[in-house]
Structure 1
Amino acid sequence: MVSIFSLAQNVINLSLVQKLHATSVWLWKSLSSGGSPTALNETVPAFNISLTTKESPCVRSANETIMISVSIPNELILEVLSRLPAKSVARFSCVSKLWASIVYRPYFTELFLTRSSARPRLLFALEEDGVWSFFSLPQHQNLWSHVVTADFHMKFPPDNMRIYSHRDRQFSCGYASGLFYLYAMLIKKEDYNGVPVICNPNTGRYVNLPYLYRFRQCYSFFGFDPIDKQFKVLFMAYPSSPDRNKILTFGTGELRWRRIKCSIKHEIVSEGICVNGILYYLGDRDGWGGFYEERYVIVCFDVRYEKFKFIYLATFVDRFINYKGKLGVIFNDHYTKDAKELRLWVLEDVEKQEWTKYAYTLRYDQFFSRIPFVVGVTAMGEIVLSMGEYTREEPFYVYYFNPERNTIQRVEIQGFGEYHKAFRNHVYTFVDHIEDLNYVNDAKLLQPRIYAPKEEEEESEEGEEEEE
């Protein structure tokens, strides 16, 4: 094939080739940064590039028209696309049928997931007046980078809809394998009852789940089964309510709530976390059928087999984290005059209930005025701490604590203020956010679908599942 530079030597001057090259680079940058693929047919200074039906682009200047044969090897296209953010890959799939076929191939989605797993990100979710904003940034920061601007993804929900405030509905959101769950989205301003919703914080695609009537408190959790690649939403009834526990499988066939039984009555007292296919949260069983020396229970719900197991504790748990693919439990800190002790237990074996226990001393002078929360652990073993609120008057920090070196790296996160006007915003921070194209490109899985609030249909007792 005759190269573009050979054509340039015989037909056009070098300046035109330079302009063509600059335009090609501009098109790639435009698409990868969110530009429209239609820019390929737009006029650019000095000449125009257009794709003909014969797949031969034309370069037209004031005095000449040149037909150029452009052929990018599929291997190169695959290599470039696999290194881009998921949002850019989704845009590039609109360039042509060939590129779309590359993006949707199982081999490419697996390659993208592998490379995405090698570059995990911190995901931030900020709430303000019923609207959530999503940001992210590379998880492994340069040790010399003390100030980083987070990448803005989107605001959710769209079309003047809004989400129940977390202050009104406790334990109402969840994150699992790249997707975000919210307990109730109000479709209309005058609505009081909302529908559960699952959204992709990278692309903005979402799906509303069937409305589920709840009595009194609303407790719901979001989990992912890595074997069958299924997401599930678990609703746990308040112990004294007439409700039944319900579960819904998302991503396969009809969306339908099913009854599921749990043998222990308990009140939910923590957020949930899904780690390697097991959904964990803390329950308080005191007063529900008796008073117990081991008052608290870690509920372990197997997302795939939909079975409950329980780990009994005598003391309260502050929060749960993902510790390198295992459950990490943060207990109440012991405070001294100038430091606090961070106590971390790691669940090594669910069946045997074996734990590895750690204790770290963190000095107050290592932090900003507000003490941050532990939000996770990186693959390198660094404990990540993040502030729980963002205010316009103070900087927002994330901390990387290295237990082996006993060092703390502080990173200031900027960029939130450009999208928020409120004085104070609640912030959720998630470690190891991975972009998975299986849920970015699947339009059938995540597309707007409205289920108007209505009374749930009664199911027969056959729909219940007994726990062993």
Structure 2
Amino acid sequence: MDKKQDQSEENDLFSNIPLELMIEILLKLPAKSIANLIFVSKHWSSIILDKDFTELYLTRSSTLPRLLFQVSVSRLKMQFLHSSSLEGPSCDHHRVAVTLNHDLEYRFSPPVRGLICCLNGTKVLIGNPSTGEFVTLPKLKTKKRFIDRVSFFGYDPVNDLYKVLCITQLYVHFIDDIRIIRTEEHQVFTLGAKQEWRMIECKHHHYLADPEKKGICMDGVVYYVARINHKLLSLISFNLRSEEFNDDASKQEWSKASLLVPCWTDLVGDQSFRFKGTLSTGELTFAPCFITDPFFFICYDLKEKSARKVVIEGLGDDYVNVSLDHVESPMFLPKVCLSDDE
């Protein structure tokens, strides 16, 4: 019996399984396993690559959000991604294989529907930490030698598009010993569309005083903090559908929660913490300001006024940055064509 006959009989076997049952089986599998199953048969592949299946999987995995850790090992000049469940981080924990240039240190965006964006200089990547797949985007266009570049990653739910916004900025002069920065270029890359960066106009002059600060994408809008002059901080919004900026986001209606952070000496000892964000459960998260081994963070329940310590084993004593409410995605990234010099 030759290989073609074997494959034909195998495909017939899979085709006899009811579609609803096949989908239910796939929905229970890790995204990494699903990525491998695409090579099993054309029938499996057609299901896995279907957008409706991706949406079903994302809906299911959003009920079980995970933590995504960026670990930078300076002595090896390498970066890794780790994913853990929030309920049992030490027992449900795995390292994600990421192929990155070891000579470059990337800034990672917060995950959006299971995907992340990585930036170093003019080099930008989009990746799926769940499957380990990363694609390199074309080099950023620049007219001048810029000091810094900042990227934001988001999803437009109306047009079902993932976009990267990149801002390049230049330090130009000093006022009262304060370094003044001017943004010069704003570019957008749409994943799966024309494979090029597009220059867009920004009518609201602003700059990012701290490029390490992350933005957040909500309902098709990216929000980030910037300065509109050399003193005043403002919340800037970028609409991913219209590709327009606005500097009045802070004037919109926002909820506010105030708290007096209690003493956690009995729980974690003498530590200083940074606020990292809010979980889907409504809990506030605080991570140590300094590297700890094992890595841990605090979840604080505003309603119950109670704190719990979440310990993550296996990360070592290297630099760790954590992203909250990461969801697994089986999405395969579209191919990106690069020029010969990239």
- Decide: shared fold, TM above 0.5: yes
For 2:314 and 2:43, locate their aligned partners in 1 and report how far apart those are by CA, in whole Å: 37
**Partner residue, 1:300:** 237
For 1:127 and 1:152, locate their aligned partners in 2 and report how far apart those are by CA, in whole Å: 13
For 1:368 and 1:224, locate their aligned partners in 2 and report how far apart those are by CA, in whole Å: 40
**Partner residue, 2:188:** 247
Return the offset for 1:452: 6.1
SS in 1 for 2:258: strand
**Partner residue, 1:196:** 124
Return the offset for 1:433: 0.9
One of 89, 94, 98 as aligned partner of 1:151? 94
One of 379, 392, 409 as aligned partner of 2:280? 379
TM-score using structure 1 length: 0.60
SS in 1 for 2:9: coil
Aligned runs of 1:410-429 on 2, under 5 Å? 410-417=309-316, 424-429=317-322
Return the offset for 1:86: 0.9
For 2:156 and 2:340, locate their aligned partners in 1 and report how far apart those are by CA, in whole Å: 28
One of 309, 320, 325 as aligned partner of 1:432? 325
CA-to-aligned-CA distance 1:245-281 (integer Å, 9 cap, x gap): 2222222232233232232243433332222222122
SS in 1 for 2:261: strand
Return the offset for 1:352: 3.4
Aligned runs of 1:255-294 on 2, under 5 Å? 255-269=196-210, 270-287=213-230
2:116 matched to 1:180?
yes
Question: For the structure 1 residues 405 and 258, does the alpha-carbon distance in structure 2 shift closer, same or farther, using more than 3 Å as the test?
Answer: same
Aligned runs of 1:49-88 on 2, under 5 Å? 51=6, 53-55=8-10, 72-88=17-33
For 1:163 and 1:230, locate their aligned partners in 2 and report how far apart those are by CA, in whole Å: 31
**Partner residue, 2:146:** 215
Structure 2: gaps spanning 5 or more residues: 173-181
Return the offset for 1:363: 0.9
The one-letter code matched in structure 2 to 1:352 is: Q
For 2:32 and 2:275, locate their aligned partners in 1 and report how far apart those are by CA, in whole Å: 29
**Partner residue, 2:175:** none
For 2:311 and 2:115, locate their aligned partners in 1 and report how far apart those are by CA, in whole Å: 26
CA-to-aligned-CA distance 1:116-173 (integer Å, 9 cap, x gap): 111111111112244321111123x16xx8x54521111331xxx236336xxxxx43
For 1:128 and 1:431, locate their aligned partners in 2 and report how far apart those are by CA, in whole Å: 21
For 2:253 and 2:221, locate their aligned partners in 1 and report how far apart those are by CA, in whole Å: 14
Question: For the structure 1 residues 248 and 105, does the alpha-carbon distance in structure 2 shift closer, same or farther, using more than 3 Å as the test?
Answer: closer
For 2:14 and 2:69, locate their aligned partners in 1 and report how far apart those are by CA, in whole Å: 45
One of 338, 348, 352 as aligned partner of 2:252? 352
Preserved CA contact (<8 Å) 2:186 2:202: yes
CA-to-aligned-CA distance 1:175-215 (integer Å, 9 cap, x gap): 3222221212xxxxxxxx65222121122222222222351
Preserved CA contact (<8 Å) 2:11 2:41: no
State percent identity of aligned pairs: 26
Preserved CA contact (<8 Å) 2:136 2:336: yes
Aligned-pair RMSD on alpha carbons? 3.2
Q: Report 1 or 2 for greater relative contact order, CA contacts < 8 Å, sequence distance ≥ 6.
A: 2
Question: Larger Rg: 1 or 2?
Answer: 1
Preserved CA contact (<8 Å) 1:199 1:206: yes
One of 135, 140, 157 as aligned partner of 2:82? 135
TM-score using structure 2 length: 0.80
Structure 1: gaps spanning 5 or more residues: 1-40, 42-49, 58-67, 167-171, 185-192, 312-348, 418-423, 455-468
2:332 matched to 1:441?
yes
Preserved CA contact (<8 Å) 2:183 2:206: no
